[in-house]
């Protein structure tokens, strides 16, 4: 089997950590793993397959001899992704910088693997909340064509990085130690305390009242489904959960689709785990999906307000399938091509 030289940019962050672990777990065929980050992380040691690897500062000259570069996201993508392409590598980028570029494929392997054929050295990884939604909806779309999507997300604090997780932990400790009214806890990563709270804002607001996060779900879904006519409305909310995003989704389909048929489709869908036995209190929950690579779907039921409507509940670890695992799956798809 051919082996590949791979670089991880942003190796010391949460997504970078999962990229490194995922390459080991999935036994990716490596001949070299190069770990890169900002100058603040220069010299840090990360263990990989029993070997200690030194993190180097990422520069425009860091990509010689590299076949695939996995960018964990952030500002370094805009700064260095095109340098990596010029050096002859294929870039798989977790940031939002190139997702809506019509010349850059945006890929979830379970959804639109065919789009990898037209990459020109740069492939975008979708937004975390979009990934889990489209994995769950693709088999339904193929069966009955989705005309409309209404989605509300319940997004974990780890979606805001290490700072988000630290904020929730610190606020809970502050509350436990002081017993003060939660509204007076000291916020850090978010505009308000996140402990015991829900914040209906992820990313900045646009002029029409929607946030950038909400519009990512709209635009990215249409791009990957190759259908700009799908009506999509999203509301994204930060909740006091450490890891794994949850989503309440209602779809309207062109053709009738029963809950029973939807369960059949989802039980056979790649990357999906069906957890739908409400009589036994079995349904997906963030607490139990954390640390896994699958998209969990349950609470599938008829939308009683629509003739061809269906509602479902979707949960996935947004650092794994919503970022790192999906990027590695794109790399696997790439080498299998």
Distance between CA 108 and CA 126 in Å, rounded?
7
Q: How does residue 1 score in pLDDT terms, banded at 50, 70 and 90?
A: confident
- Asked if 245 is an active-site residue, the reply is yes
Residues 6 or more apart in contact with residue 50 via CB below 8 angstroms? none
CA distance 297 to 268: 12
User: What average pLDDT does range 119-125 have in this prediction?
Assistant: 98
Q: At what angle do helices 259-267 and 128-144 cross, to 10 degrees?
A: 120
Catalytic-role residue among 17, 119, 128, 141: 128
Other beta carbons within 10 angstroms of residue 30's beta carbon come to: 16
Question: Is residue 46 pLDDT above 90, yes or no?
Answer: yes
Residue 161 neighbours by CB under 8 Å, 6+ apart: 13, 14, 189
| Residue range 68-93, pLDDT digits in tens | 999 998 889 999 999 999 999 999 99
| pLDDT at res. 74 | 85
- Residue 121, pLDDT > 90, answer yes
Q: What is the pLDDT of residue 75?
A: 87
What is the pTM (predicted TM-score) of this model? 0.96
Residue-level pLDDT at 210? 98
How many residues comprise the chain? 337
pLDDT of residue 188: 94
Q: Is 252 left (phi over 0), alpha (psi -120 to 50) or beta?
A: beta
Of 320, 325, 323, 335, the closest CA to residue 89 belongs to 335
Strand, coil or helix: what is 227? Answer: coil
How many alpha carbons fall within 13 Å on the CB side of residue 273?
A: 16
Which listed residue (17, 119, 141, 245) is catalytic? 245
Phi, psi of 98, rounded to the nearest 5 degrees = -120, 5
Q: How far is CA 318 from the centre of its chain?
A: 5
pLDDT of residue 60: 97
* Cα 328 to Cα 332: distance, rounded to the nearest angstrom: 6
Q: Is 285 left (phi over 0), alpha (psi -120 to 50) or beta?
A: beta
CA-based nearest residue to 224, from 145, 153, 126: 126
Per-residue tokens: 309: 């409507």
Q: What is the residue-wise DSSP string for 56-104?
A: EE--TTTTTT-SEEEE-SSHHHHHHHHHHHHTTPEEEE-SSSSTT-TTS
Rounded (10°) angle between helices 14-25 and 325-336: 50
Per-residue confidence band for 224, with pLDDT thresholds at 50, 70 and 90: very high
Between 161 and 231, where is the model more confident? 231
Q: Does pLDDT of 243 surpass 90?
A: yes
Take residue 59 and report the two structure tokens written for it.
């520069």
Cβ distance 278 to 230 under 8 Å? no
Cβ atoms of residues 311 and 250 within 8 Å: yes
Instruction: For residue range 277-294, list pLDDT tens digits in order.
Output: 999 999 999 999 999 999
The b/e string for 271-304 (b: 16+ C-beta within 10 A; e otherwise) is bbbbbbeeeeeebbbbeebbebbbbbbbbbbebe
Cα separation, 262 vs 272, whole angstroms: 12
The strand pairing partners of 249, in sequence order, are: 151, 312
At residue 337, does pLDDT exceed 90? Answer: no
Active site residue 58: no
Mean pLDDT of the chain: 97
User: What is the arithmetic mean of pLDDT over 137-153?
Assistant: 98
**pLDDT exceeding 70 applies to what percent of the chain?**
100
Nearest to 26 by CA among 115, 109, 131: 109
Q: Which DSSP state fits 199?
A: B
């Amino acid at each position: 089997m051919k082996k590949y030289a791979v670089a991880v940019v942003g190796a010391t962050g949460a997504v970078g950590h999962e990229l490194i672990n995922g390459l080991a777990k999935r036994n990716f065929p490596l001949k070299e793993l190069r770990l890169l980050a900002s100058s603040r992380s220069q010299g840090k040691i990360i263990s990989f397959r029993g070997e200690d690897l030194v993190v180097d500062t990422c520069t425009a000259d860091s990509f010689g001899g590299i076949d695939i570069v996995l960018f964990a996201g952030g500002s370094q993508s805009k700064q260095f992704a095109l340098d990596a392409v010029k050096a002859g590598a294929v870039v798989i980028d977790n940031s939002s910088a190139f997702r809506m570029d019509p010349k850059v494929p945006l890929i979830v392997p379970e959804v639109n693997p065919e789009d990898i054929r037209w990459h020109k050295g740069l492939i975008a990884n979708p937004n975390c909340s979009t990934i889990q939604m489209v994995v769950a909806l693709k088999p339904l779309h193929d069966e009955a064509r989705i005309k409309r999507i209404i989605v509300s997300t319940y997004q974990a604090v780890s979606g805001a990085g290490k700072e988000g997780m630290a904020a929730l932990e610190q606020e809970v400790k502050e509350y436990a130690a002081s017993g003060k009214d939660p509204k007076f806890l000291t916020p850090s990563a978010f505009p308000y305390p996140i402990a015991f709270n829900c914040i209906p804002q992820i990313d900045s607001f646009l002029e029409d009242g929607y946030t950038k996060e909400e519009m990512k779900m709209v635009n990215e879904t249409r791009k990957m489904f190759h259908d700009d006519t799908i009506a999509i409305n999203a509301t994204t909310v930060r909740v006091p959960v450490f890891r794994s995003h949850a989503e309440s989704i209602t779809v309207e389909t062109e053709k009738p689709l029963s809950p029973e048929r939807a369960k059949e489709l989802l039980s056979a869908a790649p990357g999906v785990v069906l957890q739908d036995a409400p009589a036994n209190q079995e349904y997906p929950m963030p607490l139990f999906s954390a640390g896994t690579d699958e998209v969990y779907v349950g609470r599938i039921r008829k939308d009683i307000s629509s003739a061809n409507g269906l509602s479902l509940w979707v949960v996935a670890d947004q650092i794994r399938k919503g970022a790192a695992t999906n990027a590695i799956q794109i790399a696997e798809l790439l080498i299998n091509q």
